[in-house]
Amino acid sequence: MSRLCLSDLMHPCTSATIHSSSTLREAAERVLMTGLDSLPVTDESGRFAGLVAQAALIRELLSRSSSQAAVAPIVSHSVASARTTASVDSILPLFRSAGITMIPVVDENDCPVGLIHRRDVIHYLLEESPRECDDAASSSDNTSHAAGPHFLSAKRRTGKL
Could you give the number of structural domains in the chain?
Answer: 1
Reported pTM: 0.75
The residue ranges of the chain whose pLDDT is under 50 are 1, 129-130, 134-161
Query: What pLDDT does residue 27 have?
Result: 97
Farthest-apart Cα atoms in the chain, separation: 53
Residue 158 lies in a domain: no
Domain containing residue 111:
6-151
Cβ atoms of 152 and 161 closer than 8 Å = yes
Residue 1 lies in a domain: no
Query: What pLDDT does residue 148 have?
Result: 29
CATH number at residue 134: 3.10.580.10
Under DSSP, is residue 102 helix (H, G, I), strand (E, B) or coil? strand
